[in-house]
Amino acid sequence: MEEYRIRVRIFIGIIFVVIGILGLRLGQLQLLDQDDFTAESRNNAIRENRVIPARGSVIDRNGVLMVSNQPSYNILFTPRYFDEEKIPLVANLLEVPDSVVVQKLKEARAWSGFRPSRSFTGVSFGVFSRVQENQYRLSGVTYEIVEKRSYPTSANASHALGYIREVSGEHLGRLEEQYPERLYRQGDLVGQTGVERRYENYLRGIPGSAFKLVNVHGREIKSYQDGAEDHSPEGGYTMHLHMDSRVQALAESLFVNKRGGAVAIDPNTGGIIALVSKPDFAPEYFSSRLDSATAAYLFQSNEKPLLNRATTNLMPPGSTWKPFMSLMALQEGLIRPGQTVRCGGGHPLGRGRFFSCMGVHGPLTVESAIQHSCNTFFFEMMYRTDIETFNRYAHLFGFGERAPTDIGEQAPGLIPDSAYFNRFAGEGKWGPGWTLSLGIGQGNMGVSPLQLARYVAAVGNRGTLYPPHLVAQLVNPETGTVTYPDLPTPERMPIEPQYFDMVKEGMRRVMEAGTGRLAQIPGIPSGGKTGTAQSPHGRDDSVFIMFAPWDNPQIALAVQCENAGFGGDCAAPIASLMAELYLKGEIPDSPAKTIRMRRALSARSEPLSD
Amino acid sequence: MRAWYRNLDYITLFAWIGLVTVGLTAIYSTTHGPASEFLLDSVRRNFERQFMWFGISAGGILVCLLLPVRFFQKMAFPAYLFTLALLVATLLIGREVNGAKSWLYIGGFGLQVSELAKVGTVLAVAWLLSNRRPNSSNVRYGLMGVGLLLIPGVLILLQNDTGTALVFFALVPIMLFWSGLPLTTVVLLVSPAIAGYFAIVYMPVAILFSVGFTLWMYLDTKDYRVTALAAMFTGGVVAVASFALAKVLQPHQIARIVSFTNPEAAEFRSGVGYHLVQSKAAIGSGGLTGKGFMEGTQTQGAYIPEQSTDFVFSVIGEEFGFMGAMVILLLFAILLIRLIVLGTQVKHPFGSMVAAGAVGVYLIHVFINIGMVTGLLPVIGIPLPFLSYGGSALLANSAMLGIALNLHMRRDDFSIYGY
């Protein structure tokens, strides 16, 4: 009987051991490894339906819609659910060879097996509707309707606005790290250039998600946890630009047959009214698949339409440099107000050949030197100073450096200093003979249209250098919260306002009785200066700077036409027409309009020689 | 006069009701959740049918409680022979479901004979061992008992229902243990199974086990024959297993055997490992408290095949979590231990043998089933007693419980017969 009791105890012990083993195993699965299995079950059964928010629209300074959205259709593959036997059917529906589907599936799998990848974007409505009709028998194939960018105005503004494009792998990694709350994914469209890139964070918004419980056959059966984890999309900020789309469109149309850049700035804010770079491209190109001809034009042609010439095209400023020289000379005391310099047809240092003037101007004050664009006068000013002072003043006006702005691509330009000449000519082997031509804006220097516009704006407003910028404000469409671009405070230059008045007087005379005569705006006095930059690549570059109205400038412009000759021929009429449209809202018919139009349209850049 | 049911053990009865209720809850969740409209017609009425079987099983228990002790003693062997006859009939005219020919249809009414055979076999073995003449050889009766188990086991094996057959074979050491065979012998009989298990899961442990076990047998018995047998059983199985895995078996057969150790591996997860991946995901993701009744994503999405039958435990694990799973284990522990205790209270060996047999059947099912759904054991298709959907099994298991309860309730009636 005693043995029987032992057997009972052993048997009860075995029951405890068996139940204990099972209990420990359950503890391991449910308590220790819970997270792994939760992930596994979520991957299985929860499908995320993503709602891409409307990307922020772009509005110009007059409230004209420049960039908005229109529906576009994408086909998504989820490799985990994809039935490989359906590849021919899918390829047939999408009108592509089987191999393309196989390739897309491979790419999708490389990114994630469980999350839907945008394998075909921007498909036609016909393809979309066929996929939609057949979706019930295509597991792992889903679709989405997203908004694509549309550009309702006739202005391209391609270099200012930039374009959006599917994010690249490396870029995606950066964005995910930088803005985790924006929920970036493979296949998302992100800004690649211009303000689209610069303000990507604001324009994007936050994608919404709806989580659905999916059964073993891939059917959605209900919302997961009654939608507790769902969140609705948040639209992107509406972007208000300083740009005037009419002025922009006009300038683009006037630039026909020309290469170059034009920048118009509000001298009282630094807001960019127009930013033209030609040749350009229509941003719509990037809203759908690029055809090969367009791609060749964009990426391979020597016209380089993607290049932002308005901010990166460097050329000597030519005579548009003379107002700058005047301001430096006056502030440095190289010449006093009213004092004259005599022009006898050239600078003595040159002995006739190199440093000659266009004419024999006689005694000239600063104002008349600007009016007549006298080279002798400005050679002399350069002769009276040194290269370091020159360099310092150029930097005061923002030359030789990148402007603090929301435009991404910029070239700093070249303003030489003694170190430059030491390197360029050899230490001690250079003298005034090397530097004098800088006084008339020729030689070893390079400035961009943006820099010129910023400088002429500062001349017009008598000495405040504003950071040029495209974006006025960003408005949250739901809350109405307004965000302003983060810009440094404008700098007041250490130059007496009265000197600006003298220079402006000279520039007024240029327009009324000088080289800018044919570019006057009827009824609005203005100040301007033509320039003709010697180009190493063929014909001279035509340059013009301008501000208007003269007494209270509202717009300052710089226009640069590559290899288009004299500054008054090409650049001046374009700038003048832009200013007139901006100031008057229209360009009334007049003989002055006809003359300027004809001159602007007939000018052309010497074709590139490949 | 006191009522006939005065000795009825209510604790066991409540544990039974508890288990069946949880099972019904889980089955309800699989068939009446948000995904019910996508279910196959064949499983859509599972809850209602199981509820009906719950009623039938309760009636069955009541009938068992009303019958006298003598009836079971007299009917034990005839019942066994009857179930054998049914098994043979199933082999001849049965219907094949999921590859196993284990269903006998009588006028549109399906019966899984192998479930009934468990009851008949437990009764027959109990009858045999309790009728043992004094002073007769333990070994002879033991071998006869083994024979009683092996016959239905082999018949069921022929039906291609390996899981259920395994239950009969696993009953052998348990039955021998109760019949008084030395513990060492019983352990020796079980040792090849353990060695084989380790050989599949992790070879070094298998070798360590066979060496350790042989050494232990030697130290325990100091008998060279026993030691040699131990070495042969364990080492032999390990050697055969490793040879089979390396040389004999086809890759798909090996996959079937070893996949449970790592079902998530890429080569298994959508094939032989699929059941386990889904079941483990369901149970593991349940966490401490579970996702809530009818809220389990794996369950409602019908990711686990056979989730109302063999894999019903994964439904409980997902929707009621670790705590729900522990309640099940606790109820089983109460039921099994209580039955053992009840068996000891019956002075007649027939009563204690029936209780022990029932406990053996339940324990094997619980271990193999929960071990299977949690990935401890290969996927061997046997149901979880009282919880899994299936009328024959619920009725057979309940009847066995009713008989054990009856023998305990009427334990005083045995004294008339005595030895």
pLDDT of res. A399: 95
* B293 assigned to some structural domain: no
Q: Which of A241, A266, A293 is the last residue of a domain?
A: A241
pLDDT of res. A47: 81
- Point out the least confidently predicted range of A48-62, B123-137, B309-323: B123-137
A279-298: average pLDDT: 86
Binned at pLDDT 50, 70 and 90, residue A110 comes out as confident
B377: which chain A residues are within 8 Å (Cβ-Cβ)?
none
Give the model confidence (pLDDT) of B189-219 as tens digits: 889 899 999 988 888 999 999 999 999 989 9
Q: Does residue A549 have a cis bond before it (omega within 30 degrees)?
A: yes
**A225 in contact with chain B, both atoms CB, cutoff 8 A:** yes
**Domains held by chain A: number:** 2
User: Is residue B82's pLDDT more than 90?
Assistant: yes
**Cβ neighbours for B219, distance < 8 A, ≥ 6 positions apart:** none
* B35 assigned to some structural domain: no
Verify that A128 and A252 share a domain, yes or no.
Answer: no
Name the residue range of residue B205's domain.
197-245
**Cβ neighbours for B47, distance < 8 A, ≥ 6 positions apart:** B24, B27, B28, B31, B32
User: Is residue A516's pLDDT more than 60?
Assistant: yes
**B15 in contact with chain A, both atoms CB, cutoff 8 A:** no
Name the residue range of residue A259's domain.
245-280+307-602
pLDDT of res. B36: 74
Mutation target to probe the B interface, by most B beta carbons within 10 A, among A11, A12, A33, A222 is A11
Binned at pLDDT 50, 70 and 90, residue B137 comes out as low
pLDDT of res. A610: 61
* A17 assigned to some structural domain: no
Q: What is the mean pLDDT of chain B?
A: 88
CA B93 – CA B291 distance, rounded (Å): 45
Verify that A220 and A342 share a domain, yes or no.
Answer: no
- CA A454 to chain CA centroid, nearest Å: 17
- CA B24 to chain CA centroid, nearest Å: 19
Residue scoring higher pLDDT (A373 or B184): A373
Q: Match 């930059």 to its residue by tokens.
A: A533
Contact at CB, A30 and B277, closer than 8 angstroms: no
**Domains held by chain B: number:** 1
Residue scoring higher pLDDT (A568 or B126): B126
Verify that A177 and A256 share a domain, yes or no.
Answer: no
pLDDT of res. A223: 84
HSE-up of residue B196 (Cα within 13 Å, Cβ side): 14
Check if the beta carbon of residue B319 is closer than 8 Å to that of residue B26: yes
CATH number at residue A164: 3.90.1310.10
A36: which chain B residues are within 8 Å (Cβ-Cβ)?
284
B403-413: average pLDDT: 91
**A21 in contact with chain B, both atoms CB, cutoff 8 A:** yes
Contact at CB, B370 and A213, closer than 8 angstroms: no
**B262 in contact with chain A, both atoms CB, cutoff 8 A:** no
Closest residue of chain B to A8, computed from CA coordinates: B340
**B224 in contact with chain A, both atoms CB, cutoff 8 A:** no
B297: which chain A residues are within 8 Å (Cβ-Cβ)?
41-42, 44-46, 213, 224
pLDDT of res. A65: 95
CATH number at residue A315: 3.40.710.10
Verify that A192 and A146 share a domain, yes or no.
Answer: yes
Binned at pLDDT 50, 70 and 90, residue B134 comes out as low
Instruction: Record the tokens describing residue B3, joined without a space.
Output: 């009522």
Verify that A485 and A382 share a domain, yes or no.
Answer: yes
Verify that A215 and A254 share a domain, yes or no.
Answer: no
- Point out the least confidently predicted range of A268-272, A556-560, B180-184, B226-230: B180-184
Percentage, residues of chain A above pLDDT 90: 54
**Phi, psi (5° rounding) for residue A119?**
-85, -35
End-to-end CA distance of chain B: 28
Give the model confidence (pLDDT) of A144-192 as tens digits: 887 788 999 999 999 999 999 888 888 888 888 888 888 888 878 899 9
- Point out the least confidently predicted range of A46-50, A326-330, A584-588, B314-318: A46-50
Verify that A215 and A316 share a domain, yes or no.
Answer: no
Verify that A115 and A179 share a domain, yes or no.
Answer: yes
A248-269: average pLDDT: 94
Contact at CB, A22 and B178, closer than 8 angstroms: no
CA B211 – CA B65 distance, rounded (Å): 50
B362-378: average pLDDT: 95
- Helix (H) / strand (E) containing A63: none
Q: Which of A211, A241, A271 is the last residue of a domain?
A: A241
Verify that A203 and A312 share a domain, yes or no.
Answer: no
CA B205 – CA B199 distance, rounded (Å): 8
Binned at pLDDT 50, 70 and 90, residue B419 comes out as very low
Q: Three-class SS of residue A445?
A: coil
Verify that A470 and A511 share a domain, yes or no.
Answer: yes
Residue scoring higher pLDDT (A206 or A227): A206
* A607 assigned to some structural domain: no
ipTM over 0.90: yes
User: Is residue A576's pLDDT more than 50?
Assistant: yes
pLDDT of res. A351: 54
Q: Match 């449209």 to its residue by tokens.
A: A581
CA A104 – CA A87 distance, rounded (Å): 11
Check if the beta carbon of residue A373 is closer than 8 Å to that of residue A442: no
Contact at CB, B340 and A15, closer than 8 angstroms: yes
Verify that A71 and A170 share a domain, yes or no.
Answer: yes
pLDDT of res. A35: 92
A229-239: average pLDDT: 89
Q: Which of A214, A241, A268 is the last residue of a domain?
A: A241
Give the model confidence (pLDDT) of A385-437 as tens digits: 999 999 999 999 999 999 988 887 899 999 999 999 998 888 888 888 888 88
Verify that A166 and A262 share a domain, yes or no.
Answer: no
Q: What is the mean pLDDT of chain A?
A: 89
* B214 assigned to some structural domain: yes
**A45 in contact with chain B, both atoms CB, cutoff 8 A:** yes
A42: which chain B residues are within 8 Å (Cβ-Cβ)?
285, 297
pLDDT of res. B138: 66
CA B360 – CA A15 distance, rounded (Å): 9
pLDDT of res. B366: 97
Instruction: Record the tokens describing residue A428, joined without a space.
Output: 């001690």
Give the model confidence (pLDDT) of B145-188 as tens digits: 889 999 999 999 998 888 899 999 999 988 888 877 788 888 88
- Point out the least confidently predicted range of A562-566, B107-111, B257-261: B107-111
A10: which chain B residues are within 8 Å (Cβ-Cβ)?
177, 183
